[in-house]
Amino acid sequence: MAPDVAAGGRGRPSAGIAPALVTTLSLLGLLAAWWIAAVIADSRVLPTPPAVFDAFWRDAVTGELFYHLAMTLMRVAAAFAIAMIIGSAIGVGLGMDARADRFFDPWLILFLNIPALVVIVLAYIWFGLNEAAAVGAIAINKIPNVVVTMREGARSLDRGLSEMASVYRFGRWWTLRDVVVPQLQPYFAAASRSGIALIWKIALVVELLGRSNGVGFQIHLYFQLFDVAAILAYTLAFVAVMLLIEFLLVQPLEAHATRWRARPA
């Protein structure tokens, strides 16, 4: 038999040092530009990086910053889970049923175009200023996007593979797990990617309008105090959290799910 058996396994070769270096240089450049601009402007409304770090440290040592980060993160996670589950179910359903799709398509376009602010305000009016209304409002803003992406995925399911599964009597569960879900995975990944970024931005507005904690609430507070350094400190802290999630959770999961793909023969 072929002697190249041992070649199985192992991912692609490491990306090398150069891309990491470029990323670091790029971020340092941005920091430098900000610093220079802040020094030249010499104004309260554009603080220097050390001033922002001071503001960060002030709220970090009291634990206040981490409490508000955690509250926002909790809302983002809950809304994300709800939006992905409901949005995927609706999207796959519409993708597989052309008649339902034709009927509900106008609804989808309507929901896609309702401004986030309107959904939030109505949710608070109808369901009160509570956590369920807040998380629900965030999720509803995201669901139509998930539906559109997942519907595209369901429409492009490979008929040949479904027929193969039916001939070989895979049954419902195996067909779903081994034939349908892997085909939807890239669409799911795309929906989650754009989802996390969108959801946390909406979460801040929700907190600003009707919650008494979270990053959005703190930013509102510091806005009234005109404390730009603290606003930037909270923003950057949360962006850092989201980047950690991206690099430590989303990317490894995705690499695992698509490990069959990028291995040139």
Partner 1 sequence: MPPAGAPGPLDVAIRDKVFTTIDGVRLAAIDAVAFTATPGSFTTLIGPSGCGKTTTLRIILGLDRDYTGHVRLPAADGRIAAVFQEPRLLPWRTVEQNVRLALPEALAGADLDALFETLGLAAMRGRYPGELSLGLARRAALARAFAIEPALLLLDEPFVSLDEATANRLRALLMEVWSARPTTALMVTHNLREAVELSDRIIFLTERPARVRGIHDIDTPRSERDADWRDAAVRAIDARFPGVL
Residues that bind partner 1 (CB under 8 A): 1-2, 4-5, 8-9, 160-161, 163-164, 166-170, 174, 178-179, 182, 260-261, 263-265
Q: Which residue has the tokens 């965030």?
A: 138
3-state class (DSSP) for residue 228: helix
- Least distance CB 98 / partner 1 (angstroms): 13
CA distance 227 to 254: 39
- Least distance CB 176 / partner 1 (angstroms): 13
- Least distance CB 92 / partner 1 (angstroms): 18
The residue (of 174 and 226) whose beta carbon lies closer to partner 1 is 174
The residue (of 178 and 246) whose beta carbon lies closer to partner 1 is 178
The residue (of 3 and 63) whose beta carbon lies closer to partner 1 is 3
CA distance 13 to 178: 28
The residue (of 163 and 246) whose beta carbon lies closer to partner 1 is 163
The residue (of 111 and 170) whose beta carbon lies closer to partner 1 is 170
The residue (of 9 and 63) whose beta carbon lies closer to partner 1 is 9
- What's the Rg (C-alpha) of the chain? 23
Q: Are 117 and 201 in contact (CB under 8 A)?
A: no
3-state class (DSSP) for residue 46: strand
Q: Are 31 and 53 in contact (CB under 8 A)?
A: no
Return the closest-CA partner of residue 194 out of 145, 242, 151: 145
Return the closest-CA partner of residue 72 out of 172, 251, 208, 174: 208
- Least distance CB 158 / partner 1 (angstroms): 8
22-29's contacts with Cβ under 8 Å and 24+ in sequence apart are: none
- Least distance CB 120 / partner 1 (angstroms): 39
The residue (of 62 and 166) whose beta carbon lies closer to partner 1 is 166
Non-local (6+) Cβ contacts of 66 within 8 A are 60
* Alpha carbon distances (Å) from 65 to 120, 185, 241, 248, 262: 24, 35, 12, 22, 41
- Least distance CB 70 / partner 1 (angstroms): 36
- Least distance CB 162 / partner 1 (angstroms): 9
